[in-house]
Amino acid sequence: MDIRDTVIKIDLSAISHNIKTIHELIGADVAILAVIKANAYGHGAVQVAKTFMDAGVTYLGVATLSEAIELRNVYPDCPIFILGHTPDRFADIVVKNRFTQTVIDYGQALALSESALRAGTAAKVHLKVETGLVRLGMRDPDEAIRICALPGLEVEGLFSHLALAGAENDNMQWRRLCDFSDAMRNSGINLRYIHIADSVATVDRPEFRSNMVRPGSLCFGMHSWESDAFVDVRQSIRFETRVTQVHVLKPGEGAGYEYHWIAPGPGRSLIATLPFGYCDGYPRRLYERGYVTIRGKKCPFAGLIGMDQCMVDATAVPDVKQGDRVIIYGDGDGDGMSLQEAADLCGTFKNDIIARLTVRPPREYIHKQPDASPQKK
């Protein structure tokens, strides 16, 4: 039961549809490592994980050990991949929970090897190659070859991360990963998975798909690619609330902290108070350019956005009343501000907008009947 008017609605059927679309795009021979880090981009990782597994992904990818443990506590047998670095002192936890761990250097591999030997098992790992993002990974194939010789390790894959610095640089990174893989293969080491494609490259660079892709925002229906390709994915998240109270202001009256907004006149202004704020993950800087949608009408903010509440100028909705439904983020197609528009207004990108959403607004998970018709581009 929702105990707030402010709620984030998650369409699980849209996620299922999106994974099916990605499977069709990449083909049966390419595995999906679905990235659900940052609380599944605000969707709720624990709550959406089963939808991903039922849709046939090979791995659920997270950024941190704590994110992995949260999933393991609910899903004891789910394949979980930690994309970020886990400090060596936590190697025993990685091994005990059967996480597939990113390995960035020999020292980390040695810690996992020793932990696995103590536990009488094998630690499954993927080796991270630094190809140009200059963030994590090794550059010397000889280091990777030494790692593969360690006991207690199952080295399953090799991967890297694109800097997305233009086609020429992307191609360079792909060549470096391939050269690294070739060097290992020439030493008799053949790994099951090679992967570098994120959401963007999964669509735009089919030659980078290899035999595994790592879509994140694409799984949630966000338009992440740069080409003109049409991919039938559907946004799976909406952010809504309801009007708490309506005030009538005369010309010249102020609203909100420091009276950043003054009723313009010549007639009255209708100010609707809404029960959400920047502690729910809404960007405070949008108070000057952002808006919500009430009964299909755009209602701009009236003054600064507070921690828990904000006000909007609802004069365009003459009969606005308490309890009216308010769309904070919709699909952008006449149904509220899109995530992309919010990102553009903030001078950032949509992953930043969606990752801001905090755990405070309750999530409502819904299953819609599948729609056979593709969405508009």
| Residue range 359-368, pLDDT digits in tens | 999 999 998 6
Q: Report the pLDDT value the prediction gives residue 230, as an integer from 0 to 100.
A: 87
Q: Report the pLDDT value the prediction gives residue 169, as an integer from 0 to 100.
A: 97
Give per-residue pLDDT as tens, 129-144. Answer: 999 999 999 999 999 9
Quick one: residue 254, left, alpha or beta (phi over 0 = left, psi -120 to 50 = alpha)?
beta
- Residue written as tokens 């960007």? 283
Q: Report the pLDDT value the prediction gives residue 376, as an integer from 0 to 100.
A: 45
Q: Report the pLDDT value the prediction gives residue 65, as an integer from 0 to 100.
A: 98
The residue-averaged pLDDT of 233-239 equals: 95
Cα separation, 169 vs 133, whole angstroms: 10
Is the domain 12-220 a CATH 3.40.190.10 member?
A: no
Average pLDDT, the chain: 95
Sign of CA dihedral 149, 150, 151, 156: negative
> DSSP 3-state assignment of 366?
strand
Q: Report the pLDDT value the prediction gives residue 345, as an integer from 0 to 100.
A: 95
Q: Report the pLDDT value the prediction gives residue 377, as an integer from 0 to 100.
A: 41
Q: Among this protein's residues, is 96 annotated catalytic?
A: no
Give per-residue pLDDT as tens, 331-360. Answer: 877 789 999 999 999 999 999 999 999 999
The residue-averaged pLDDT of 259-279 equals: 96
Cα separation, 219 vs 225, whole angstroms: 12
Domain map of the chain by residue range? 12-220, 237-366
Q: Report the pLDDT value the prediction gives residue 109, as an integer from 0 to 100.
A: 98
Q: One of 37, 124, 128, 350 is an active-site residue; which one?
A: 37
Q: Which residues, including other chains, have CB under 8 Å from residue 197's CB and lie 6 or more apart?
A: 162, 205, 208, 209, 210, 213, 214
C-alpha count within 13 angstroms, C-beta hemisphere, residue 196:
28
Cα separation, 167 vs 48, whole angstroms: 33
Cα separation, 328 vs 323, whole angstroms: 15
CA 9 to chain centre: 15
Longest dimension (CA), the chain: 80
The residue-averaged pLDDT of 184-188 equals: 97
Q: Please, which pLDDT band fits residue 370 given cuts at 50, 70 and 90?
A: low
Q: Please, which pLDDT band fits residue 369 given cuts at 50, 70 and 90?
A: low
Give per-residue pLDDT as tens, 150-172. Answer: 999 999 999 999 999 999 999 99
Residue 252 pLDDT > 50: yes
- Looking at domain 237-366, its CATH superfamily turns out to be Lyase, Ornithine Decarboxylase; Chain A, domain 1 (2.40.37.10)
Q: What is the pTM of this model?
A: 0.92
The residue-averaged pLDDT of 256-281 equals: 96
Parallel, antiparallel, or unpaired for β 237-242 and 325-329? antiparallel
Q: What percent of the chain has pLDDT over 70?
A: 97
23 and 32 in contact (C-beta within 8 Å)? yes
Q: Please, which pLDDT band fits residue 200 given cuts at 50, 70 and 90?
A: very high
Beta strands (DSSP E) in 196-341 are 212-213, 237-242, 245-249, 254-255, 261-262, 269-274, 291-294, 297-300, 310-313, 325-329
Give per-residue pLDDT as tens, 289-315. Answer: 999 999 999 999 999 999 999 999 999
Q: Report the pLDDT value the prediction gives residue 331, as an integer from 0 to 100.
A: 83
CA nearest neighbour of 197 among 225, 230, 238, 229: 225
Q: One of 257, 259, 321, 368 is an active-site residue; which one?
A: 257
Residue 372 pLDDT > 60: no
Q: Report the pLDDT value the prediction gives residue 280, as an integer from 0 to 100.
A: 97
Q: Report the pLDDT value the prediction gives residue 98, as an integer from 0 to 100.
A: 98
Give per-residue pLDDT as tens, 62-96. Answer: 999 999 999 999 999 999 999 999 999 999 999 99
Q: Report the pLDDT value the prediction gives residue 367, as an integer from 0 to 100.
A: 84
Q: Among this protein's residues, is 37 annotated catalytic?
A: yes
Q: Report the pLDDT value the prediction gives residue 229, as an integer from 0 to 100.
A: 81
